[in-house]
Amino acid sequence: MPMIRTDLVGLNRKQSIRYLADLIHEVLDPIVVRQIFTTLMRDDGKHERNQLERRWYSTYDFNIYKEDQYLIEAWYCWHYYSRKYIQAITKPNAVQQQSVRNLLPDTATIVDLGNGLGLTTGALSNLFPNGKIIGTNVKPSTQFTIAERLANIYKFTMTDNLTTITDPVDLIFASEYFEHHTHPIDHLNDIIKTLQPRYLLLANAFTADAIGHFNTYTINGKETEDRATNRLFSRNLREHDFNPVQTTFWNNRPALWERQ
């Protein structure tokens, strides 16, 4: 069992890959672990990720999430994207002369949607040691199993069913999550209705090509291009009484929304 890292978001690339290898070695065959480790150390698994992406866009087969090779993509998304969004939470003077972290109580309930390997959820647990931190993912999957291991280390909860979350939710964190749903706004509405969050911290990328993303989405029963989906998503948030909060984050990423 890998040890807890209070500096989880601060690990450099090689440290992060080694931590992943320690995390998965009791879950996967040692040969597969070695392949993943070697591939990431070589070039972040660029060739393997490109192969998976091409296959995704030719099939839209959701079983790709259950493949061991998808862990390469999950780690890449953590290290180069969601890790930085977690770091942004503690940025001084990000929101009205304070950090996003200080907007929330120490005992905050936070839901990390589609938490991948669970590294983002572990980092959130480090930031809120007295909070209730919950990660969501697809079950059964290798990702879920790995995230459960991290949950035991970092003291957070895993679920594949949002209706099991009954506490008032202070913050929902979602890094490139809604792009993995063909009906993202319908799914957003279900989440808002079920969890009633006060804040949303979102890093959407509807226009980016990636494994699990779509070229078009279904909005109000109509096939909609990715750019229009992004605009309609924001409009829908406003219709549910969420307002964008001005931050000092570069390119407004992640975007913070507060319910009035």
**Tens-digit pLDDT profile for residues 123-157:** 999 999 999 999 999 988 999 999 999 999 999 99
The answer, yes or no, to whether residue 1 has pLDDT greater than 70, is no
The answer, yes or no, to whether residue 159 has pLDDT greater than 70, is yes
- Residue 5's pLDDT band, with cuts at 50, 70 and 90, is confident
CB 100, CB 89: distance < 8 Å? yes
Residue 65 within any structural domain of the chain: yes
pLDDT for residue 32: 96
**Tens-digit pLDDT profile for residues 219-228:** 999 999 999 9
The answer, yes or no, to whether residue 6 has pLDDT greater than 90, is no
Q: What is the mean pLDDT of residues 97-106?
A: 95
pLDDT for residue 188: 98
pTM as predicted? 0.96
Residue 1 within any structural domain of the chain: no
Q: How many domains does the chain have?
A: 1
- Region for 75 from its dihedrals, namely left if φ exceeds 0, alpha if ψ lies in -120 to 50, beta otherwise: alpha
Q: What is the mean pLDDT of residues 97-121?
A: 96
Q: What is the mean pLDDT of residues 153-179?
A: 96
Helices (H), the chain: 13-24, 30-43, 46-59, 70-77, 83-89, 119-127, 142-154, 184-195, 226-239
How far apart CA 99 and CA 89 sit, in angstroms, is 6
The dihedral built from the CA positions of residue 128, 133, 138 and 144, taken in this order, carries a sign that is positive
How far apart CA 128 and CA 15 sit, in angstroms, is 23
**Tens-digit pLDDT profile for residues 32-53:** 999 999 999 999 999 999 999 9
| Cα Rg, the chain, nearest whole Å | 18
CATH number at residue 130: 3.40.50.150
Average pLDDT value for the chain: 95
pLDDT for residue 2: 74
Residue 216 within any structural domain of the chain: yes
Residue 2 within any structural domain of the chain: no
Instruction: Give the burial class of 11: count Cβ atoms within 10 A of its Cβ; 0-12 exposed, 13-18 middle, 19 or more buried.
Output: middle
Instruction: Give the burial class of 164: count Cβ atoms within 10 A of its Cβ; 0-12 exposed, 13-18 middle, 19 or more buried.
Output: exposed
Residue 101 within any structural domain of the chain: yes
For the chain, how many helices (H) and strands (E)?
Answer: 9, 9
Full residue range of the structural domain in which residue 57 is found = 8-259
Q: What is the mean pLDDT of residues 86-101?
A: 94
Residue 23 within any structural domain of the chain: yes
Comparing 139 with 78, which gets the higher pLDDT? 78
**Tens-digit pLDDT profile for residues 210-248:** 999 999 999 999 999 999 999 999 999 999 999 999 999
Residue 3 within any structural domain of the chain: no
Distances (CA, A) of 111 to 76, 154, 169, 222, 224: 21, 15, 7, 30, 28
Nearest to 167 by CA among 124, 141, 196: 196
Residue 29 within any structural domain of the chain: yes
